[in-house]
Structure 1
Amino acid sequence: MSVISTFGALQASDRSPSAEFAYIDESGDVGPTTKGGTRTFTLGCVLVPLDQWTDRLGILTEARRDIRRIYGVRLRDELKANYLIRGRGPLSEMRLGDGQRRDIYQRLLRATAVAASGTFAVIIDKEHGRYAGDAHERAWEYLFQRLRMRSRTQRHPIIVVHDDGENAAVRKHHRRFRRHSWAPGGHSVDAPLLVEDPVVRDSALSYFVQSADLAAYAAFRRFQPPGRKVASVCNERMWSELAGIHRIEVSRSNTHGIVVYPT
């Protein structure tokens, strides 16, 4: 299949996928800011149709091959936001400059914008005066709400795939949410199209989970612009690299696909 016909097939399935994976990773922590916790806790979600899944993975793989050719980063090396921002992890011995790491970040998000059918983020601002509750539980509740609405609107199943961590809590929350949650207006609803238990993946073994990590951090920086040093790699405009697939319907308060609590 030619590149043009492959891209056309991806666009067609983006509009009406038979089912989607929702790849999810987080940025920040859930601890209180008074005890050294980060200001925000963010979940990033990258939606990938099951249709032409291998071709979609191939887009990310090809981007990684380009990065290997230009910068020497191996295909098996995990590329998460923290490593790119600080030159850590597999990049620690490579001495790549800020501009080079920014270029890698942009290349990966641009590839994600082609491979995926949508992206959005949920940000919990723990320093807001009206913040209350458990940041982890609230973030996942808002994320599941958006996935439920998408599954009902698009009329297709969604399978949650997330990075390893808090697995039991996420699974319990997902099972409860599938049977019962509250919709706007106060009536009880279920989410039958959020199928199966969430699938746990080690992010080091999944390019798509790594994409969700990069999306989560970029969304966080769209909300809270960084200082000069961090901005040299990822500034508040990095989130716009995914503008073509922002699921703007997830929020009524903005048009860039980010749910913020409290508002």
Structure 2
Amino acid sequence: MHLCYVDDSGDSKNGTTLSALMVPVERWSGLLESWLQGRRDIHRQFGVGKNTELHANLLYKGRGRFCESSTEERRFGTRQRAATGRIMLNSLARVPGWQAVTIASPEVRKPRLYAQFVAWLEDWAEACDDHLLVFYDGKQGAHAGQGEPDATELSEMWESAVRNAAPFRRAHRDLDIATRRVVEDVVMQDSRYSQFIQAADLIAYGAYHRHRQERPDIWGEGKVVADAIRAYMRLKNHWYRGDDARDGIVWLPE
């Protein structure tokens, strides 16, 4: 059984990518411990908050606030942000037995690409004679504020979470229950509270920019984020290496 943590990247014009961190259940705790050691390292070196969300787009573009003190934040420049990405993906790279895969497509509608992605996961799991449980970045209906929500707030949060997840649940429920390898509905996990969704976000951002670097015919001639690519390259021993992949990335033509 594998746990599959998924996040997306791409652009609204040319396409979308979905990246997955796929870890066997027996490797889960070791991988998480190594990731948390990476968090301790960036806290010690740069003052990055231990519970601060590591959002790749903000990290690499010099936005957002990551450090616990104003002094540390002022020192948290481009070089320190790039090092943070490398340290965190290095923390994953040290642990054997898991894989990273990215599915890329000109499809800009995420639910449609997600259905293609789930179909790809089905084929992968069948080839491995295994099963998968998928966690995807999205609203959980959890309360992030102070105190307890009242009944109206709680109802609105849950209704919003259920509604937003509906297209992704449908991709699972359209599978043949007698033969399916992707079990249960998708589990939506808010990236603010999930370490491995944040890891998937760093992977997704780096994979997208690597593919953009290699395939300007698809993505255009825009600037790539070299620091994100360098961090992503640290995972090369964990990339999915099927015949349909290059640098851990599978391109699905429209």
Query: 1:15: which partner in 2?
Result: none
Deviation larger for 97-106 or 111-120: 111-120
List per-residue Cα deviations over 1:177-224 (Å, max 9, x = no partner): 344xxxxxxxxxx75221111111111111111111111111110111
Query: 1:214: which partner in 2?
Result: 202
- Structure 2 runs not aligned, ≥5 long: 140-163, 214-221
- 1:40 CA drift (Å): 2.5
Query: 2:148: which partner in 1?
Result: none
Structure 1 Cα separation of the partners of residues 114 and 135 of structure 2: 13
* Contact 2:49–2:66 (CA under 8 A) maintained in structure 1: no
1:26 aligns with 2:17: no
List per-residue Cα deviations over 1:49-68 (Å, max 9, x = no partner): 11142222111000000000
1:43 aligns with 2:37: no
Q: 1:74 aligns with which of 49, 73, 93?
A: 49
Q: 1:196 aligns with which of 184, 190, 203?
A: 184
- What code does the residue aligned with 2:7 have? D
Query: 1:246: which partner in 2?
Result: 239
Structure 2 Cα separation of the partners of residues 218 and 100 of structure 1: 17
Change (3 A) 1:73 1:238: closer
Q: Secondary structure at the match of 1:119?
A: strand
Instruction: Write the mapping of 1:87-102 to structure 2, written as runs, cut at 5 A.
Output: 87-91=62-66, 94-95=73-74, 96-102=76-82
* Contact 1:25–1:216 (CA under 8 A) maintained in structure 2: yes
Change (3 A) 1:196 1:114: farther
Change (3 A) 1:80 1:141: same
- 1:109 CA drift (Å): 1.3
Query: 2:131: which partner in 1?
Result: 157
Structure 2 Cα separation of the partners of residues 240 and 191 of structure 1: 35
Size of the aligned set, in residue pairs, is 216
Q: 2:249 aligns with which of 238, 244, 258?
A: 258
User: Percent of aligned positions with the same letter in both sequences?
Assistant: 30
Structure 2 Cα separation of the partners of residues 199 and 160 of structure 1: 6
* Contact 2:118–2:171 (CA under 8 A) maintained in structure 1: no
Give the alignment's Cα RMSD to 1 decimal.
Answer: 2.3
Q: Secondary structure at the match of 2:235?
A: helix
Query: 1:139: which partner in 2?
Result: 113
Q: TM-score, normalised by structure 2?
A: 0.77
